[in-house]
Chain A
Amino acid sequence: MLISLNWIRDFVDLPRDVSPPELGERFTLTCAEIEGVERIRVDARGLIAARVLSNRELPGSRNLRHVVLDVGGGKAVETVTAAPLLHVDTCVVYAPPGASLAAFGVIREAKVEGHASVGMILPGEAIGIEMAVQTAIFLPPYAEPGEELAAEAFDDWVIEVDNKSITHRPDLWGHYGIARELAAMYRRDLKPYPVVRLEELTDVDLPEIPITIDDPQRCPRYSGLRFGSVGSQAAPLWMQLRLGHVGLRPIDCLVDLTNYIMMELGQPMHAFDGDKVERIEVGLAEPGSTFVTLDGIERALPDAALMILSNRQPIALAGIMGGLDTEIRAQTQSLLLESANFEPATIRRCANALGLRTDACVRFEKSLDPANTVLAIQRFMHLARPEFPQMKLAGRLSDAYPEPAEPVTVEVDPRFAARFMGHPIEAKDIVEILTPLGFTVDEDADKLLVGVPSWRATKDISIEADVIEEVARYVGYNSIEPVLPDVEVRCFEPNALHELEQASLRLLCLGLSFSEIHGYIWYDSNWTRRLGFDPGPCCELKNPASAAMHLLRQTLVPGLLASVDLNRHYAADLRLVELGGVFFPESAQVQEAHERRHLGLVFARRQKGAEETLLAELKGVVETWSSQTLGKPARFEPHPADAARPWEHPQMTAQVVVGDAVAGRLAALPLGLRRAMDEHLAAWSVAWAELELNGLCTPAPVEKVRPVPAHPEVDLDFSFLVPVSARYTAVAKQLAGFEHALLKRISYVGCYEGKSVPAGRRSLTVRCRIGDPARTLVDDDIASFRTAFEGFLGACGWGLRR
């Protein structure tokens, strides 16, 4: 929201030695964030009012007009202008030759397209009314041609308040509220708000507007005033300039007045054509009905749209926009002025449903002070009377306020305030701070009873902490001496999953050459389609970032593969890891069970047919990871590929088992899928693993260390041939059945296929460790073990590799 400093000065005499940027800084530190402070420098000299005497098209020109102006003193001048709507007899802002302003320098007589043009009808943007581009600024009917226009009203400073920082402060949505804060900051008096006395509007001899409120929850207060003998004319220049400075376009005196009061008090008002509105009813729209707003658009009304009705015919969307039918027009003479208070949620829901965010609804949804409805009308009359000296009340102030707001009182304990702030403060300091902000403070024993002013009581301030905030921000947060907290020592349960995640990334990235990437948690359906992957039922976004990204992922593999495709251009050997959430749609309850944490690994190498090597290396990584982070070994079991997951190779897919738990899958990427991803990947080998961490955080039993044997043990390696169809798990199980008194352990060394191994066979090498705790082995021990083990292998049908 934009704030004009000229306007603020109506209500508070700010110290002269404070520059506007300093003032903005102070406001940021004490109240709400100022986003910018800008100077409006028109530097107008010698501008005058001029009356249009005649206006005709300039022959041969598309948009220029020849205008004769009365510039006072019986003098008429001719000028050429592009400004539209220059009706005869209206007064405009005019720069005669010799006048000057920052935008154009000194104005001189000129020729425009061959025509003499004396002086200049000034467009809005040249005099600080940015919204009135290339439009003349009109003056009220009482303006006299030749009358000098006061130079000081044109120049101003504009302060931009960050709207987000005042969503909780309805009072700061107008200049008067801002002025109140500035007055308190600089210890100046806030001037009373100039209004007409209430008694002037409550003449009992005048008729009352019948007002019916169906549901006072939705419309706590509705005030209205009917008057006549007004018409369409321009607002006073100073008012137009101020509206221009805060970003509004001056339109017409009556409209400008309501806008002016909205920018001043935060209270939106609406003017109905008084002849068309007999009574006021506030109620919900008929379900399924439509309404034409004053912008001429017919709108389908959402459920529970709150409407202003007259004889049950809708005349306005409450708190959002008026209707076209009852709009005031140039010839309108009689007005019904609405100043009401609505429930924020009702207005907000309706405005959001309609996609119609007006200045009014933005304010109503902040919980406005119901006391302001009448005050705004009083202010309106105060400002309108000098403009419309002939105006007459056609009714008395009508005010429906069925359930007046209860005053809010908050009990504050000064000792608690001091403790809460961590800063010494006494009752008298609190009184000194709160009073200028409009609070009342009564001492009651060792407590303070703080009366909250109506403009802060709608939702902003209701508890002790709210009042302490007021005190603390005026003490100055930066005056509070920092002190580290004095806390109770407590040993919290460890977060095992988080520790596992951190240990996993540490090992994989810092030790095993993996690079971590982050992906989005939704599938990109363009990519999954390319992979030939149908995600099936997934958690689904109602409002995805794009239509192709509506399904939440259940696996990290598609994302990792996309990353392989992206990174393959510059590296021949990729090791990527992602750790993140995956989501399952079982039920609408948030239970951790529906969201799991996965660890995805991928190995890719620019080498054809290296799947066996890659898988072996990746398995090695998984084994190392499992032993080092979980304290349990991992093993791999043959597993059929899941046809729904095209990244599982029909031949080369394994299930990863840690302890007794299935931890995930590991596989090579089939050639078909690599081709589908990217033709270049046909010449690559890719392997991946995906592990679910949630179930793995159980503590592992500690494996004890054994004393070094007193007599040396001996390792004997045996290489033997098994059919390629034999699975390691089965072979290992059989080997585990071998019994011998000297045997300590059998472990896997490696496997080999190729030269010297017959086709259809694979050579496995295992290492047997033998020893006797009571004595040193002799040659015969070794020979006899060899014989026994080789005999066992033979009995299994596995010949030794020669």
Chain B
Amino acid sequence: MDVEQLKLILAGIEQEARQAVQAAATLEALRGVRAKFLGKKGSLGQLMGTIRDYPPEQRGLAGQTLNAASQAVTALFEERQKQIESSEVAADASGAGAHDPSLPGVRLPLGNVHPVTAVQWQIEHVFQRLGFTVEAGPEMESDYYNFEALNIPAMHPARDMQDTFWLTNGLLLRTHTSPVQVRTMEKFGPPIRCIVPGRCFRYETIDASHENTFHQCEGLVIDRNISIANLIAVMRLLLREVFQRDVKVRLRPGYFPFVEPGFELDMSCLICGGSGCATCKRSGWVEVLPCGMVHPNVLRYGEIDPHEYTGFAFGLGLTRLAMMKYGISDIRVMNAGDVRALVPPSRMAGPTIVERN
């Protein structure tokens, strides 16, 4: 074969390639076509293998001719590749609106913490920002920590205020989180800033607003020069953080043997804004937490010198706060174990389409 014949064959191949390239509609088909022409075993590839068959003086020309043809065919492929790619990009970006961007996602069912836990975390978060620690104590307590070290001796009428579950082993179920006050004093010594969220127990009949098992959160601050003014400021800050708005508070005398003086802290009713409604019994105020200045005897039980240190303590009803926050009207659901009564309905199923009462 001479070069002239080669040129003729190449022209044919090029013609053939041009048609095949145009016929390839996808990048994948184009890659197949390319192998057919430019691969080792493709028509051009095979011709490359024949160059050494030419007489030496023609080899250079044959090589040049073949290279030129190969480049021309490669250019065809590249051009076609660009065409296909850009039409694919265009096709990807267009479409007949078949995709629905508003469809919800696919997910695992939502888990839920108990409403009391949710409120507890919120309170813990507020106090941790103020440098308080979170302490705990046993639920099965001794008379000493639950009563005596809190300045409530045996036969004290205040014991009636907290009807107690007694155990046959002489212990009791703590009636409040306050026993952790003296426990914490023993553990850390002054100064102290802690809260104690936890479960408490009172021997009373259960109904929609009374439970024998509920959660409280104790708070205790002991330092030099702690004052009533400090107590009011911290309580106001707490309520502002919990309710996410400025609330009016007022303090009035309250009696608890482990504080002196003791207070009841009222908050302006959030339902009526203080003008008086059924929730606040027309008073405009809602009793939210008992508090007071730690009684010197309690400090002494905790081996803290009441001449050097003073402090305040408060007790927040976590269960009641959770009921207020989530609109739970029957306290009995808290320990009943029925998830539906504890979780907003929208969290119980897939994304809500409509919610009806």
Taking beta carbons and an 8 Å cutoff, which residues of A are in contact with B?
Answer: 28-33, 164-169, 344-345, 348-349, 365-366, 419-423, 463, 465-466, 468-469, 472-473, 477-478, 480-490, 492-495, 497-498, 502, 505-506, 508-521, 539-545, 552, 559, 562-563, 566-567, 570-571, 573, 575-576, 580-581, 583, 585, 587-588, 590, 592, 594-595
Contact = CB atoms under 8 A, between A and B. Distances in A.
A477 to B, nearest CB: 4
B255 A422 contact: no
B188 interface: yes
A728 to B, nearest CB: 27
Majority-rule SS of B interface residues: mixed
Closest 3 CB pairs of A and B: A422-B229, A422-B227, A469-B261
A282 to B, nearest CB: 19
Contact of B253 (A473, A508, A576): A473
Contact of A520 (B108, B157, B213): B213
Contacts of A514: 111
A622 to B, nearest CB: 16
A575 B166 contact: no
Interface in B209-233: 212-213, 221, 223-230, 232-233
A539 B140 contact: yes
B263 interface: yes
A421 B109 contact: no
Contacts of B108: 512-513
B110 interface: yes
A517 B114 contact: yes
B253 A32 contact: yes
A581 B138 CA distance: 8
B227 A497 contact: no
- Chain B's interface size range is 35 or more
Nearest to B201: A521
A510 to B, nearest CB: 6
Given A167-B157, A421-B229, A581-B199, A509 B337 contact: no
Interface string B240-256: 00000000001111110
Contacts of B71: none
Interface string B181-214: 0000000100101100001010100100000110
Contacts of B136: 495, 497-498
Given A30-B252, A515-B112, A552-B167, 4 more contacts: A344-B155, A487-B131, A513-B109, A581-B199
Given A33-B254, A513-B109, A485 B171 contact: no
A517 B227 contact: no
B337 A563 contact: yes
B236 interface: yes
A482 B236 CA distance: 8
A29 B265 CA distance: 10
B97 interface: no
B140 A505 contact: no
Interface in B126-177: 131, 133-136, 138-142, 145, 154-155, 157-158, 161, 165-171, 173
B121 interface: yes
B3 interface: no
Contacts of B337: 517-519, 559, 562-563, 566-567, 576
B111 A348 contact: no
Interface of B: 108-114, 116-117, 121, 124, 131, 133-136, 138-142, 145, 154-155, 157-158, 161, 165-171, 173, 188, 191, 193-194, 199, 201, 203, 206, 212-213, 221, 223-230, 232-234, 236-237, 250-255, 257, 260-261, 263-264, 293, 295-296, 310, 334-340, 342-343
Contacts of B169: 539-540, 585, 587-588
Contact of B221 (A167, A365, A485, A494): A485
Most buried by B among A29, A32, A488, A518: A518
A202 B116 CA distance: 66
Given A420-B293, A484-B237, A164 B228 contact: no
B335 A465 contact: no
Contact of B338 (A344, A472, A567, A590): A567
A595 B138 contact: yes
A595 B169 CA distance: 14
Contact of A487 (B112, B134, B221): B221
A485 B230 contact: yes
Contacts of A573: 109
Nearest to A505: B113
B261 A485 contact: no
Contacts of A594: 140
A541 B117 contact: no
A786 to B, nearest CB: 31
Contact of B335 (A516, A520, A542): A520
Given A482-B229, A590-B171, A595-B138, A518 B116 contact: yes
